[in-house]
Amino acid sequence: MPDGQQYFASHPDSASQAKIFTLSWHGREVRFWTDSGVFSRGELDMGTRVLLDALPEHITGRVLDLGCGWGPVGVLLSLQHPQAEVWMADVNERAVALARRNAQENGVSARAVVSDGLSQVEGDFDLIALNPPIRAGKAVVYSLFEQASRRLTPDGALYVVIRKQQGAPSAVKYLETIFRDVRTIGRKGGYHVIQCCGGKTDAV
């Protein structure tokens, strides 16, 4: 199976091929370990870049990098916003091990946990960032939306990045059924960043 097709599996069966690369980010040189069986091995993917660029300039409180992969969002947000309490979560055990390693490699305290959705993540969050596992299917992706809607603080927001051709318009329609305020705040290279606030607690 080509690298990347099973990144949403709990236990990737591809042979480990760990690879380290350096990313220049806001004047910093940040080192990341990646591996086979994990999304976007060896580089920061375009969608995640677009998502990071669209996030608020000042971030505090509790932050969740949902579906963290090898941890670029959680680690970079921890570096930029050391006052925030950052969590990272992914169903992929290899990805979480990498996220933990990358947090340690870059001297940040972001916590990474193996979790199917938010099941193993504690508490509510002021910001949840999600580059959803599109290949896992709409049911999985929409379940993550719904779980996130129930785990935001009253003023919290979910930020989602999706390519237009991979379902951004239909995702917006669904998100509008579970959030009171849904808006597209960024577009680049076919990617849309959607900000969602005011989760509807009566959503099914």
Q: Is residue 69 part of a domain?
A: yes
Q: Is residue 115 part of a domain?
A: yes
Q: Is residue 154 part of a domain?
A: yes
How far is it, in rounded angstroms, from Cα 45 to Cα 105? 20
What's the domain count of the chain? 1
Q: What angle do CA 189, 194, 157 make, to 5 degrees?
A: 145
Average pLDDT on 106-115 reads 96
190 alpha carbon, distance to own chain's centre:
18
Domain with 175 in it: 46-199
CB 190 within 8 A of CB 50: no
Reported as a pLDDT band with limits 50, 70 and 90, residue 202 is low
Q: Is residue 166 part of a domain?
A: yes
Backbone angles phi, psi at 49, to 5 degrees: -60, -45
Q: Is residue 23 part of a domain?
A: no
124 alpha carbon, distance to own chain's centre:
16
Q: Is residue 176 part of a domain?
A: yes
Q: Is residue 171 part of a domain?
A: yes
pLDDT value for 4: 38
pLDDT at residue 109 tops 60? yes
Question: 180: which 2 tokens?
Answer: 């009171």
Question: 98: which 2 tokens?
Answer: 């990498």
CATH number for the domain spanning 157: value is 3.40.50.150
Amino acid at 8: F
Q: Is residue 103 part of a domain?
A: yes
CB 130 within 8 A of CB 158: yes
pLDDT digits (tens, 9 = 90+) for 53-95: 999 999 999 999 999 999 999 999 999 999 999 999 999 999 9
Radius of gyration for the alpha carbons in the chain, expressed in angstroms and rounded? 16
pLDDT at residue 46 tops 90? yes
Size (the chain), residues:
204
Q: Which residues of 155-191 are buried (b: 16+ CB within 10 A; e: fewer)?
A: ebbbbbbbeeebbbeebbebbeebbeebeeebeeeeb
Beta-bridge partners for 128: 64, 158
